[in-house]
Each structure stands twice: as structure tokens, then as C-alpha cells.
Amino acid sequence: MSEITHTACLGGGVIGASWTALFLASGRSVAVFDPAPDTERNVRDYVEMAWPTMTELGLTKAGNPDAVRFHTRAEDAVAGAGFVQENVPERLPIKHDTFARIEPVLDIDAVVASSASGLTLGQMQGGWQDPARFVLGHPFNPPHLIPLVEVMGNDRTGAGVVEKAEQFYESVGKVTIRVNKEVPGHVANRLQAALWREAIHLVTSGVASVEDVDKAVWAGPGLRWAAMGPTMLFNLGAGEGGLKSFCDHFTDTFNGWWDDLGQIHLDSAVAQTLIDGVQDEAQGQNPAELSAKRDALILAMQKATSGLRD
């Protein structure tokens, strides 16, 4: 892959600002598009906030936090960019309008990736005359701190474009997975939705409080999941026999658990139960304090595991 030195971020909200910080940290320049009048101040403040964390992770050695400029037209922002990360609001008319504006002025080798979590690649491709250079590049929030990016192309995606996107993401410190089939929510969001559904069921059926269900995750399997995924962990949990032994031993157990899992829908009453529970769990800490604690814990885990993945 030819070296990409200039990038663009379309949308200057929290996700766009986080991507901007990461791209700047990698030594690339960034052009940011967002028509909101306070975009430049908000993005610069976010970059300043994120920079010390990225420095602790070793991500800013080549970086320059000032190598950023701002535009109120998307077509101006993408001019000369080798990689474009799109983060505009998740409404198809807005996405389609943005793509129609940038397509005629994109560099011939540029890749455009969407951060969309709720829209599918196929839905978004409707905004392109030729979507060959357009892929899904869905991060986990915040992108400058959480490594995962879910990457997807399909039969309308050009040869080598998915691979080029993956290589770019890996060059800025991301961990990519390939989504091979279009499903709502992609991969990671579906996994956390499945867990949250059962967490809510346990609360609403009186098995445990919101706080204790959360505690059961972070003090139990969450620690293992931060090291390896569930299937590999079960493979290791069976010792010499591996996953075959595990399945032989626990097939009936898991089938029984799965049959008993709750089917629940999030309505106003359920939401209020969760809101009350999470307020009790917060013990008076405000969102900013809790977010700082979350980020400090994630940073510590990232630093502790750095270099152990290979």
C-alpha cells in the first residue's frame, strides 16, 4: 500500500473527533468537515484531551496535533485525502447527500470508510454512482482508545479496497476484523446486544440488581474476554481435550441455558428500571467522573497487554 499521509474526517462529533485525534497521532494530516460553527473548538479540545492517553499508549511519536484544518463543505475536506473516514449522522438522506457531494472530487485511489453502526453497507451504497472505493469501517467508541474496527466490502466493492482499508487501520494501531455477510449491527454490536438482553432479563426477573449484573461481567468473564474470545477460552478451559472435550461435556448444559435465556424488549418501564439501577450503581458520581474512570481502566489494560498479542 502506498503511504497515506493526508486523511479526512467527515463529521466532527465525538466519533469524528476521536478518529481525528488518532490520525493526527499517527503523523498524518487531517481535514475535518462539519458545518456546525463550534466544530473547530470542539475537535481541538477533544484532541488535546485525548493526546496524553494516546501518548501513554505510544501512539503519538510521529504525531502533530496541529496538523488539522476545518471545512464547512465535505467536497473541500476530501480533496487530496488518501483515506476518508465518514461519521455524519446515521440518517440515509444525509449519508447519501454526503457521498454524492464527495464522489466527483475524490482522489482516484482514495478509500472512503463509514463509521456507521446502525446502517448496512448495502443501504449506504445507494448514495454512490460507483461504490467501488467505499467500505464499512465501524469502530468501537472511542476510536482513539478501543482498537477494534469492523471492515466490510461486498460484490460492489473494488478489488483490494477492503485490504487497503485494513492495512491503513492497522498502520494507525487498530485491530481489524472482516465482516463477511451483511447483518444489522455487524458483529460486535450484536454480541453486546445479546449479552445486554440477558443482563436486562436477569434484572427484570429479580435474579440480581443492575449493579450486581454489571459486577458479574467486569469481575468475572469480562476479565477473560479482554484477553481472548469466548470460543478460545472454552477451548483452553477443557485442558488437553480442547474444545471437543468441552462440547462433549457441556452440550446439554449450554442447550439448557440457551433454552432458558430471556426474550425481552426495551420499553419505557424496563428503561426506567435500568436507569434507577445505574444511578444506584454510580453512587453519586457524574458521567464525566465515570467516563474518566472507564478510560483510565481501559488505558491501564491496554498498556498491560501491549506487546503480548503477537
Digit-coded pLDDT (tens) for 271-305: 999 999 999 999 999 998 998 899 899 989 888 88
Q: What is the pTM of this model?
A: 0.92
DSSP SS3 for 26: coil
Helix pair 210-218, 188-204: axis angle to 10 deg: 140
Q: What is the mean pLDDT of residues 158-169?
A: 97
pLDDT, position 162: 98
Answer for the pair 208, 200: CB distance below 8 angstroms, yes or no: no
Best CA proximity match to 35, nearest among 95, 6, 77: 77
- 113-134 residue pLDDT tens: 999 999 999 999 999 999 999 9
Q: What is the mean pLDDT of residues 69-83?
A: 97
**pLDDT of 2 strictly over 60:** no
Counting residues of the chain whose pLDDT is more than 70, the rounded percentage is 99
Q: What is the mean pLDDT of residues 154-159?
A: 97
**pLDDT of 205 strictly over 80:** yes
Domain annotation for the chain: domains and CATH numbers: 6-178 (3.40.50.720), 188-227+265-305 (no CATH)
pLDDT, position 304: 86
pLDDT band at 245 (very low <50, low <70, confident <90, very high): very high
CA pair distance 251, 136, nearest whole angstrom: 36
Answer for the pair 206, 59: CB distance below 8 angstroms, yes or no: no
pLDDT, position 1: 43
pLDDT, position 107: 95
CA pair distance 190, 252, nearest whole angstrom: 24
pLDDT, position 203: 97
Cell numbers placing 297: 481502566
pLDDT, position 306: 77
Mean pLDDT, the chain, rounded, equals 95
Q: What is the mean pLDDT of residues 240-247?
A: 94
Counting residues of the chain whose pLDDT is more than 90, the rounded percentage is 90
**pLDDT of 307 strictly over 50:** yes
**CB atoms < 10 A from the CB of 207, how many?**
11
- 253-275 residue pLDDT tens: 999 999 999 999 999 999 999 99
Helix pair 39-56, 287-305: axis angle to 10 deg: 40
pLDDT, position 310: 63
Q: What is the mean pLDDT of residues 51-58?
A: 93
CA pair distance 31, 84, nearest whole angstrom: 9
CA pair distance 249, 251, nearest whole angstrom: 6
Q: What is the mean pLDDT of residues 39-44?
A: 97
pLDDT, position 289: 93
